[in-house]
Structure 1
Amino acid sequence: MRMLLNIRIPHEPFNTMVRDGTAGEVLARILEDAKPEAAYFTEQNGARGAVLVVNVDDASQIPAFAEPWFLKFNADCELRIAMLSADLMKSGLENLGTKWQ
């Protein structure tokens, strides 16, 4: 199942890691392990942030996606299920309207 992993990274310890040159290496290790379909880095509420598109086959995989961000950066993580338009078309949406009138 495709999920969006929304990450908010506080200034510390990330600032310290940028200064000592380890931030890029740690980010690369996390991304290599997660193998996201896509990774976008952006600002979130005045702080660093990222949005990763990851494939989760089983709920037991969620800690493997979130823990590196928690442990290395003290980041906040949110996971959301995401659908492509093809997924939505397979959802039976046309029948739900009549079922829930």
Structure 2
Amino acid sequence: MRMLMKVEMDTEASNDLIRQGAVQGLMEEALGRIRPEAAYFTVENGCRTGYFFFDLTESSALPSISEPFFMRLGAKIHYSPVMNREELAEGLSRITTRD
């Protein structure tokens, strides 16, 4: 299932990792595990925030995906199932309407 994971990083924890020169390694390790089809970075609610779109093959993978962000960045994480354009069209084609 295609998922959107939003990672809102604690400012002080992410500042510390940046000062240590470790944030790039953390991101490379995490993104290597997730293998996102897209990754975007911005600021939301005054915090560094990443959006990762990836295929979740089994729910038991969630802890290994989330924990590096929780443990090292004090992050708040939110998951949402998402669809691309083709999947939306397929889903809409399954809707039956009644007159």
Q: Same fold (TM over 0.5)?
A: yes
Listed as ranges, the gaps of 5+ residues in structure 2 are none
Any unmatched runs of 5+ in structure 1?
A: none
**Cα offset for 1:79?**
0.5
Deviation at 1:49, TM superposition (A): 0.3
* Equivalent residue pairs, number: 97
Q: How many angstroms does 1:15 deviate by? A: 0.6
- Percent identity between the aligned chains? 28
TM-score (norm 1): 0.86
Report the secondary structure of 2:29's partner residue. Answer: helix
**What is the TM-score with the length of structure 2 in the denominator?**
0.88
Query: SS of 2:87's equivalent?
Result: helix
The CA distance in 2 between the partners of 1:14 and 1:57, in whole Å, is 29
- Residue 44 of structure 1: how far off its partner (Å): 0.8
Q: Stretches of 4+ moved more than 2 A in 1?
A: none
Deviation at 1:32, TM superposition (A): 1.4
* Matched residue, 1:65: 65
RMSD (CA atoms): 1.5
